[in-house]
Structure 1
Amino acid sequence: MIPLMLLDTADLPDGGTLRLMRRGNDHFILFGRNELMSSRLKGSEEALASLSCAPLKDRSGARVLIGGLGMGFTLRAAQALLNRTAHIVVAELVPKILEWAQGPLAHLFHDSLSDPRLSVRLEDVRDSLLAAAQGGSATGYDAILLDVDNGPDGLIHLANDWLYGAAGLRAARAALRPGGMLAIWSAYDDPAFTDRLSRAGFAVDPVKVRATGGRKGAHHMIWLARKP
């Protein structure tokens, strides 16, 4: 059996540690025993972008916020769909994730980080949302994509509870332009979260997608929540 090798670690603001692992050509990011990301499973991360950004492909000056850099699969899928006038902002809380993207995971990112449409901010996506909400339509987004935790709760960062609670959803709604889309990734379904999105004033469409992007394998969830 090919051994699992530790490449690096990253400390989290609330305590705890992320571990970047490699087995053969496959890379993993672990939090405790939880596998948060894997280079083998990118289908649902790509779907997060394709489901929310495809309607924007012909829109001039589309603005998209991605919460969480991850292994770059959502970013690259969004870049492939959006036209040259788009502006993509990535908010990444953990600086080491960006270091990994430029180092041991660079082969997964290819040239995506040098895209002139891209701005990477080392900040909590909460701050990005609040700034956009206060700035009005000029700083608002046509799509906000959140993949910052394992689901609609604060597993790896306790402050993520705010994002998925009533206050965070109100901020996300205010940060969207009229008709804008909030898309949220999760490793599991949560009917109570669907109700919470509805109560926050979104038109909600929960979508099951394959983690592999194919016809087999585990399902992940993506909530598509449109601002009227």
Structure 2
Amino acid sequence: MLPRETLATAQIPGGDELTLVSHGRDFIIMLGRDELMGTRMQFSEEQLARLTLERLQVPKPRVLIGGYGMGFTFRSALEHAPAEARIVVAEVVPEILDWARGPLAHLTGACLDDPRGEVVLADVAALIDDAVDGTTAGYDAILLDVDNGPDGIVRDGNERLYTRTGIGRARDALRPGGVLAVWSAAPDHKFTGRLKDAGLEVDVQTVRARPNNKGPHHTIWFATRAR
């Protein structure tokens, strides 16, 4: 059996320690003793971006992504976004970007230098608030992949994102017809209900973690604001 090699560690603000490890040709980001994400199971995070962008009917979409991670969602968004799209990624752990340009550079490719995209060191909730308050423009899509889902909080403070208040703020940060897309490692019927209670049209999709129809099932909510 191939050993795991620790490459780097980082502290989540208000949360636990992240560890970047290699395992043969694969890379994994650990949260404590648990696997948070890895290169063997990235398909559902890529689908989070692809399926969201397919739902947008605007030529110049403005998109907010919560969490860079290993860049799966960001790269997929750039791949499927039109030439005049604007994609902003909120990431709270600075070392994540160091890893992206260091040991994970072969995965990152040119995405961090794509003029359509920008990664900012900020809490995604703060960027949502800025849009609601009119400090910045609203978004055509908000993609959340900052936790393992509404019931799998990674960072203290993220709970708000999945509450009625947080959903309402995200809805208000969307332009008419905009989509709030949320990735989760597991289904959550109560969260589906909260999205509907916020007046959003909800489509719940189940996606496999790997493109060969293998691996665990993950859940993605697509919640659309009325036009």
Q: Which residue of structure 1 aligns with residue 99 of structure 2?
A: 100
| 1:55-81 Cα deviation digits (max 9, x unpaired) | 33x732210000000111111111111
Q: Which residue of structure 2 aligns with residue 53 of structure 1?
A: 53
Contact 2:15/2:156 (CA < 8 Å) preserved in 1?
no
Q: Which residue of structure 1 aligns with residue 42 of structure 2?
A: 42
Residue 118 (1) aligns with residue 131 (2): no
Name the count of aligned residue pairs.
226
Q: Which residue of structure 2 aligns with residue 63 of structure 1?
A: 62
Q: Which runs of 4+ in 1 moved over 6 A?
A: none
Q: Which residue of structure 1 aligns with residue 209 of structure 2?
A: 211
Trace 1:137-152 onto structure 2 (pairs within 5 A). Answer: 139-152=137-150
Q: Which residue of structure 2 aligns with residue 167 of structure 1?
A: 165
Contact 1:205/1:224 (CA < 8 Å) preserved in 2?
yes
Contact 1:176/1:227 (CA < 8 Å) preserved in 2?
yes
Q: Which residue of structure 2 aligns with residue 193 of structure 1?
A: 191
Q: Secondary structure at the match of 2:165?
A: helix
Give the CA deviation at 1:219: 0.3
Q: Which residue of structure 2 aligns with residue 77 of structure 1?
A: 76
Gaps of 5+ in 1: none
Give the CA deviation at 1:154: 5.7
Contact 2:16/2:155 (CA < 8 Å) preserved in 1?
no
Gaps of 5+ in 2: none
Percent identical: 52
| 1:87-112 Cα deviation digits (max 9, x unpaired) | 00000011111111111111111101
Q: Secondary structure at the match of 1:80?
A: helix
Q: Which residue of structure 2 aligns with residue 90 of structure 1?
A: 89
Q: Which residue of structure 2 aligns with residue 130 of structure 1?
A: 129
Q: Secondary structure at the match of 2:103?
A: coil
Moved more, 212-221 or 78-87: 212-221
Contact 1:153/1:160 (CA < 8 Å) preserved in 2?
no
TM-score (norm: length of structure 2): 0.96
CA distance in 1 between counterparts of 2:212 and 2:179 reads 25
CA-atom RMSD in angstroms:
1.3
Q: Secondary structure at the match of 1:177?
A: strand
TM-score (norm: length of structure 1): 0.95
Q: Which residue of structure 2 aligns with residue 181 of structure 1?
A: 179
Give the CA deviation at 1:187: 0.5
